[in-house]
């Protein structure tokens, strides 16, 4: 039977302590015990249902984690204070000095910087590859490789990872396949395709209101227990814990994710087709011209579409900046990084979210100066939006 991630979120039932339809928020950093013995057992992880200290776990964080695990079809999940607060402990948990990672070369700039500049200090090396070429990925695997790392749809180039193919490689060489699914929640379910660990920045589509940073690791109970281990768990010891108030607000927003994703995808598809027909160099996985359109189609949960992210290339950074400033002036969206907001957000990744990647490498991977990344909003009247964007494009001379 087809995997139905939104049904699984909706089927969860929670009540607050006074019968509220939302679970009560745990507004405490520490918890009392009637007996010292129970406190000891809780610290050792042997007292189910008891809480000790809010960096370890809180009811609000567990509720959100449970819902996200349902969404991704994994045994459980651990929520974190940011997307980077999910990515970095996972990598550090799985790698020791001397280990090696094979990563997609087109990934979020912060993740890239962590692998390129930070983990080498711990003697963990990374080879960056074109993730769309399985033979290149396989050739980069060495005896010390522990992890294959990618984004299902990459930031910012929107390359699509063949998760089944990568999972087969991971299995063959005994590696963990880690997939950052931030760009394609609900549309793609990496765990169903063989990924071992699925990560999201909750800051983006999942929360959707650009008021919170957060992250999640969805994985097996065993791995999440490892991350939370009081003696050597990277989430526990590095301490990127999500605040309960934020966890509860993200959980409430998660319940409308399916409606939002359908609208983001519908609007993005409309604009991508229009931009392309106007002759703009447009990248969107829903376009037949996208090199991985068919692959995405075989992997997707159809009803959620191809996602809300698209890029156009307007030739130069100067033109990109001029166009973005004008579109913001006309209230077509905001010149801002991040994604998943109700308003369209646009930025030039080369000088913002991917600026950690040296210029030469940007060129090699095809990240051009004139690239504008759009996170398409929930506009009710996307036809009007397109007409207005088109006149901005004419005014700055890119059409």
Site string for ligand PLP, 86-115 (x = CB under 6 A): ----------------------x-x-----
Q: Is residue 281 within 8 Å of residue 319, measured between CB atoms?
A: no
Please report, as residue ranges, which positions from 268 to 287 form the binding site for ligand PLP (by CB under 6 A): none
Q: How many angstroms separate the CA atoms of 189 and 7, rounded? A: 13
Contacts from 331-337 at CB under 8 Å and sequence distance 24+? 332/385, 332/388, 332/389, 332/392, 333/374, 333/377
Question: CB 16 → ligand PLP: shortest distance, Å?
Answer: 28
Phi, psi at residue 283, to the nearest 5°? -120, 120
Question: Looking at 180, 196, 226, 313, which residue binds ligand PLP (CB under 6 A)?
Answer: 180
Question: CB 21 → ligand PLP: shortest distance, Å?
Answer: 28
- Which residue has the closest beta carbon to ligand PLP? 83
Q: Stretches 21-29, 82-90, 190-198, 378-386: which one binds ligand PLP (CB under 6 A)?
A: 82-90
Q: How many angstroms separate the CA atoms of 247 and 245, rounded? A: 5
Site string for ligand PLP, 200-239 (x = CB under 6 A): -x-x---------x-x------------------------
What kind and span of H or E run contains 180? strand 176-180
Question: CB 188 → ligand PLP: shortest distance, Å?
Answer: 13
Phi, psi at residue 35, to the nearest 5°? -135, 145
Rg (CA), the chain: 21
Residue 151 sits in the site that holds ligand PLP (CB under 6 A): yes
Q: Quote the strand ranges of 236-324, DSSP E.
A: 281-283, 309-313
Residues in the interface with ligand PLP (CB under 6 A) total 15
- The residue ranges that bind ligand PLP (CB under 6 A) are 82-84, 108, 110, 151, 155, 180, 182-183, 201, 203, 213, 215, 353
């Amino acid at each position: 039977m087809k995997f139905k991630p939104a049904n699984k979120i909706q089927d969860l039932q929670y009540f607050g302590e006074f019968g509220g339809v939302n679970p009560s928020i745990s507004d405490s950093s520490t918890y009392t015990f009637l007996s010292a013995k129970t406190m000891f057992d809780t610290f050792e992880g042997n007292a189910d249902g008891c809480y000790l200290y809010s960096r370890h776990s809180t009811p609000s964080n567990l509720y959100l984690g449970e819902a996200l695990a349902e969404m991704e079809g994994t045994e459980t999940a651990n929520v974190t204070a940011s997307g980077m607060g999910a990515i970095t402990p996972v990598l550090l948990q799985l790698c020791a000095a001397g280990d090696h990672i094979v990563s997609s070369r087109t990934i979020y700039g912060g993740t890239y910087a962590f692998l390129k500049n930070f983990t080498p200090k711990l003697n963990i090396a990374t080879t960056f590859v074109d993730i769309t070429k399985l033979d290149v990925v396989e050739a980069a695997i060495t005896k010390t490789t522990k992890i294959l790392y990618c984004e299902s749809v990459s930031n910012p180039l929107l390359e699509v990872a063949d998760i089944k193919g990568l999972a087969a490689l991971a299995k063959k060489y005994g590696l963990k396949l880690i997939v950052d699914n931030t760009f394609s929640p609900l549309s793609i379910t990496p765990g169903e395709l063989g990924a071992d660990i699925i990560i999201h920045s909750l800051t983006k589509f999942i929360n959707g209101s650009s008021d919170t940073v957060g992250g999640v690791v969805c994985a097996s109970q065993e791995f999440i227990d490892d991350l939370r281990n009081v003696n050597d768990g990277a989430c526990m010891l590095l301490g990127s814990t999500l605040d309960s108030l934020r966890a509860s607000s993200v959980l409430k927003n998660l319940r409308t994710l399916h409606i939002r994703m359908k609208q983001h995808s519908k609007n993005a598809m409309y604009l991508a087709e229009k931009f392309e027909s106007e002759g703009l160099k447009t990248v969107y996985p829903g376009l037949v011209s996208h090199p991985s359109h068919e692959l995405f189609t075989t992997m997707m949960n159809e009803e959620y579409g191809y996602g809300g992210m698209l890029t156009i290339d307007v030739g130069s950074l100067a033109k990109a900046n001029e166009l973005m400033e004008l579109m913001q002036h006309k209230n077509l969206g905001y010149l801002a990084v991040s994604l998943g907001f109700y308003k369209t957000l646009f930025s030039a990744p080369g000088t913002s979210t991917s600026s950690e990647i040296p210029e030469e490498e940007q060129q090699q991977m095809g990240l051009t100066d004139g690239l504008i990344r759009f996170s398409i909003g929930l506009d009710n009247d996307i036809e009007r939006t397109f007409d207005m964007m088109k006149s901005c494009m004419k005014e700055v001379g890119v059409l």
